[in-house]
Structure 1
């Protein structure tokens, strides 16, 4: 896997050498440079891959993103507030092209420049909006840039401009960009009160799809544990704070009811609910607040919308961690809808995975639910998913788990499932995917099939034996 990096200057120099010394055309010189570095194991994700023509090179002309940054810096130095807006818009457009442009700008001190510009524009919301858009674009993929001053700025904007829809959307997006894969930013922003501001934005702008969608997504990011640099995050604690101190479940569910005709917003909010269902009582709260009935109706009405179906199934899977909620979903007709959704979207490995996982949760420790799932065609649909997606390890694992749970306390179902061709498909999953081996063996064992089980430890001195 590529891991080495080079500077923008090194890359540009090689492209120019190809053009001058080897007389290549610009596009050929660019392609040759890319191929040369990639063959050496260099990761070019941080490099702007465009040709600086000979005239530009001779006059030391900079890349467009750096020209935009330089113009912004000059306007800032002169406090030319009326000029800053256009320069910010140009800079944002350049940063939005790809990560390499953002990275190059950051290397040339774009962050303090943009931050200082935003400070100058605090009393002018339309211009400030352009500044925050530039800051959000710059932070995308570069959360390390945000410092305490930047955190204070974002929190201040959300507090003092809470009625400004566009500013809320953009500031919340900047918060989200700064918290992805960055535990320290998450914790410090939470300590600064960002959770109240995010839930408050959903309440204050309940009819504005952009605000609700962005705030729901940002709340979800606060529950992530995706920063590999820290051994332990506070994802669970943040989820509890959102629910217990900021009434997050009710706010999200009520917000969803205002967007029954907007699958994009509903997908975000269902996904956020899944991240908040971290305790047994929270799962029950979602039912008590009307969230389950809403999602069941949503699945029935929007069953053709693939992304929304996936998120609703994921939410069912999450709240089914509560045994009483499992029964509630079954009684609400959830099984039939899941089977119908899987059949409708059999080509989607994500829906097959989430569908099998949800049914597997319903079946766990619930023999009576297993009967409903079998009668509804759940086992047959799981096996069809295994046939359709043999290369998708997550589909195979969740299907094996479902089949095992169906027969663990209902051995009478074993023969029916085997007659559907389960043994061959499970053996194929076991052979194809090493990560699926343990689950496949457990499913085969509980189905009554012959399976070779290795005793990993015999209890005797001498360590693990195979």
Structure 2
């Protein structure tokens, strides 16, 4: 059931009432108000949970600091230059960067048109536009609905006008990424307006800047998301095709990765984005032909100590191995051995284990010869250990079951070695713990040759359903 919402004014009034009517001290009044609202099922994520400020004469002031700064910006917005209000814009940026509640309250009081007006006013001067744009980036973080057509055009103009200026470009890229996350309409509008070549162009022009490469890469990745629950059908696949076919996205990203081999954060983002672009069989092959597979194997061999990087490398392998020829290339390059080593190194990390099992599962699919390599290199043993270690992680359990199914699908003689590792008991435990997701576990037991109870929920006969 959806939680209730209240306004900041309601919350502040409750705190004041506790202080004035019940004579609580400020901290106690705040704590009591939070507990009371939470007990009533109120969502306080967008509420500034702080004691309302007190003026020098002891009277309560009606607004929080973020609104006082916003009010100062509103009063002079028609006459002041960005330089005149530079201090206020910086303070507004700092406050909005603290938490969602600060920027949500500002947005509720119409901060967006005010900040956008200063952005446009400072368009011709680099320092001014950087200051105003930073405020816009802070305000729109987590609030993509704020961006309108005027704001979209402003971001496009900024990326064109200041494409050689790294500081302005970086903040503009951050704003684009934030405004496209979980917002399909913003993505479609910006793509139609020409954002994709600006993103790949930023990577090429500022290839030496780790921050810009990471932000632009993340923005490209977000363009391929299908994460807006308000939209029935998105354009994720089309956007991925446009990035690859019209903007040489794969070549640009792989080139950028080779320039930042010592930066784990950048490499993780690049691998994640490549996995989102491998949406067609030929794209998977293109990644290999452009040196992407060699790069991925190098990262897997040299970066196996870094859990986050390994997780994203696994994700990339899982994506590109959808191509059968790439499957063989990964195995021939020693990929199975490296995947198992990395899984064993990070056995306590559920995300790494999940992606590792998924990688091996994809490599085993329709490839009996690969299944043998996986078994010989301890892949099944690693999967069983992952199930044993992460009994409460449904995703690890699912991927491990899928791997076992793919291993024995065309080589039934592999069933007994897997069962000898204790797979049956672990799968049965999974079925008891996660009863809502039992189909995959039962299918794994069936393919392994184990006894499994399969209930016929509906016989197809006329009348009521029978169990």
Q: TM-score, normalised by structure 1?
A: 0.98
Structure 1 residue 52, shift from structure 2 partner: 1.4
CA RMSD of aligned residues (A): 1.3
Q: CA deviation at 1:430?
A: 1.1
The answer (yes or no) to whether the contact 1:457–1:463 under 8 Å persists in 2 is no
Conserved in 1, the CA contact under 8 Å of 2:391 and 2:397? yes
Instruction: Give the CA deviation at 1:61.
Output: 4.7
Question: Aligned in 2, Cα 1:464/1:221: closer, same or farther, shift over 3 Å?
Answer: farther
> 2:212 maps to which residue?
211
Partner of 1:345: 346
CA distance in structure 2 between the partners assigned to 1:243 and 1:215 by the alignment: 15
1:445 aligns with 2:437: no
**Structure 2 CA distance for aligned equivalents of residues 235 and 435 of structure 1:** 29
Q: Which residue of 2 aligns with 1:95?
A: 96
How does 1:182-197 map onto structure 2 within 5 Å? 182-197=183-198
Q: Deviations over 1:306-361 (max 9, x none)?
A: 11000000101111111111111001111000000000000100000000000000
Describe the SS at the equivalent of 2:98: coil
Structure 1: runs of 5+ lacking an equivalent: none
Q: CA deviation at 1:79?
A: 1.9
**Residue 409 of structure 1: CA displacement?**
0.6
> In the alignment, which residue of structure 1 is the partner of 2:304?
303
Partners of 1:187 and 1:234 within 8 A in 2? yes
The alignment partner of 1:43 has SS state of coil
CA contact (8 A) 1:2 1:42 kept: no
Q: Answer yes or no: is the 8 Å Cα contact 1:68–1:90 preserved in 2.
A: yes
| TM-score (normalizing by structure 2) | 0.98
Give the match for residue 25 of structure 1.
25
The CA distance in 2 between the partners of 1:42 and 1:130, in whole Å, is: 36
Structure 2 CA distance for aligned equivalents of residues 100 and 378 of structure 1: 46
Q: 1:53 to 1:135 in 2, by over 3 A?
A: closer
| Matched residue, 2:432 | 431
The equivalent residue for 1:409 is 410
Counterpart of 2:43? 43
SS in 2 for 1:103: helix
How many residue pairs end up in the alignment?
466
Q: How does 1:231-270 map to 2 (within 5 A)?
A: 231-270=232-271
Following the alignment from structure 2 to structure 1, what is the Cα–Cα distance between the partners of residues 277 and 90? 36
Structure 1 CA distance, aligned partners of 2:299 and 2:257?
A: 10
Deviations 1:346-379 (A, max 9, x none): 0100000000000000011111100000000000
C-alpha change, 1:416 and 1:49, in structure 2 (3 Å) is: same
Decide whether the 8 Å contact of 1:404 with 1:443 is kept in 2.
yes
* 1:165 pairs with 2:166: yes
Query: CA shift at 1:459, angstroms?
Result: 4.2
Aligned to 1:293: 294
CA contact (8 A) 1:225 1:234 kept: yes
Pairwise CA distance, 1:404? 1.0
Q: State the alpha-carbon separation in 1 of the partners of residues 84 and 139 from structure 2.
A: 20
* Alpha-carbon displacement from aligned partner over 1:60-115 (angstroms, at most 9, x marks no partner): 35211111112222342322432222111100000011010001000111000000
Q: Could you tell me which residue of structure 1 aligns to residue 227 of structure 2?
A: 226
More off after superposition, 75-84 vs 11-20: 75-84
Tell me, yes or no, if the aligned pair for 1:92 and 1:133 is still in contact at 8 Å.
yes
Distance 1:389 1:229 in 2: 34
Report if the CA contact (8 A) 1:26-1:53 is conserved.
Answer: no
Q: Distance between the aligned counterparts of 2:81 and 2:247, measured in 1?
A: 42
Asked if residue 371 in structure 1 is aligned to residue 378 in structure 2, the reply is no
Q: Which residue of 2 aligns with 1:52?
A: 52
**C-alpha distance in structure 2 between counterparts of 1:34 and 1:227, whole Å:** 31
Task: Check the 8 A contact 1:400/1:440 in 2, yes or no.
Answer: yes
Write the deviation string for residues 151-175 of structure 1: whole angstroms up to 9, x where unpaired.
Answer: 0000000011100101111001101
Query: What does residue 356 of structure 1 align with?
Result: 357
Matched, 1:9 2:9: yes
Shift in Å, 1:435:
4.3
Note the alpha carbon deviations across 1:173-216, whole angstroms, 9 max, x for none: 10111111111000000001001100110001000001000000
Cα pair 1:30 1:49 within 8 Å, conserved: yes
Name the counterpart of 1:177. 178
8 Å contact kept, 2:82–2:132: no
1:206-241, Cα deviation, whole Å (9 max, x unpaired): 000010000000000000111111111111111111
The answer (yes or no) to whether the contact 2:401–2:440 under 8 Å persists in 1 is yes
User: C-alpha distance in 2, partners of 1:54/1:79?
Assistant: 29
